Chain A
């Protein structure tokens, strides 16, 4: 019995290894900057937020979407991304088996709170390779200025 377990090609131990890696990825979030609106790892789409002196950069990892159907809104300092993704499951004609169903399907909404200096009138959004990149410019008055010493 033990021999057959050890010889099973990849599956048993590979799955265990995969589980361990998933756990490591989940726990990696502890101790890093988090947001009050952060949800458990695996939320769709995954978000990365960056900051430059002139803008706030938001990257939403949302593959397989129609950019026309993505809804990006800014309301009172909250930026929200709403959309829907269809399941890739082919129609079942009686012979279909599903072995893995990890990809997200259905409606989603994710929200990011913007800092006070964000300018809701200056926003650009691009969708490329399955990543939605939103750039919210900071207000001119809030941008760092060099003061010349007389």
Chain B
């Protein structure tokens, strides 16, 4: 029990050391659009994971800084982004479409076709 606690605490400590990317989340009748700002992350350092109902976005900042550079002033102080989202069951994680360009991630998560709204006709008997 206490072991388990210690693990979760160190995991939390690790989590604190990442930047939280800013996101926009929109929903329409077909699905969800998630837009995330991940400036400085090249395509090969972007990691997207879906684990059960959790979507995790992670990325590592790689900028070509000269070796002899001294930091004078910094607003971005960490080199890793991480953010997790809980997805609901009507979303179809198998058909997620991801596009990443100029540090902006566009994720389209469609709804299962059976979960999309249908007009129900009321029949008069």
Contacts and interface: CB of A to CB of B under 8 A. Distances in A.
Contacts of B37: 63-64, 103, 130
B33 interface: yes
A5 interface: no
Nearest to B41: A129
How extensive is the interface on chain B, given as a class? 35 or more
A33 interface: yes
Nearest to B59: A129
A106 interface: no
Contact of A100 (B25, B42, B62): B25
Given A130-B39, A131-B39, A24 B16 contact: yes
B81 to A, nearest CB: 11
B12 to A, nearest CB: 8
Interface in B29-44: 29, 33, 35, 37-42
A75 to B, nearest CB: 20
Contact of B26 (A9, A65, A97): A97
Interface of A: 9-11, 14, 18, 21-22, 24-25, 28-29, 32-35, 38, 41, 43, 45-53, 55-57, 59, 61-65, 87-90, 93, 95-104, 127, 129-131, 133
Interface of B: 15-16, 19-20, 22-29, 33, 35, 37-42, 53-54, 62-66, 68-77, 84, 86, 101-104, 106
Top 6 closest pairs, chain A to chain B, by CB: A130-B103, A63-B103, A130-B39, A64-B104, A61-B39, A63-B39
20 contacts: A9-B86, A34-B73, A45-B39, A48-B71, A48-B74, A49-B74, A50-B66, A61-B76, A63-B38, A63-B103, A63-B104, A64-B102, A87-B24, A88-B104, A89-B24, A90-B26, A90-B33, A98-B25, A130-B104, A131-B39
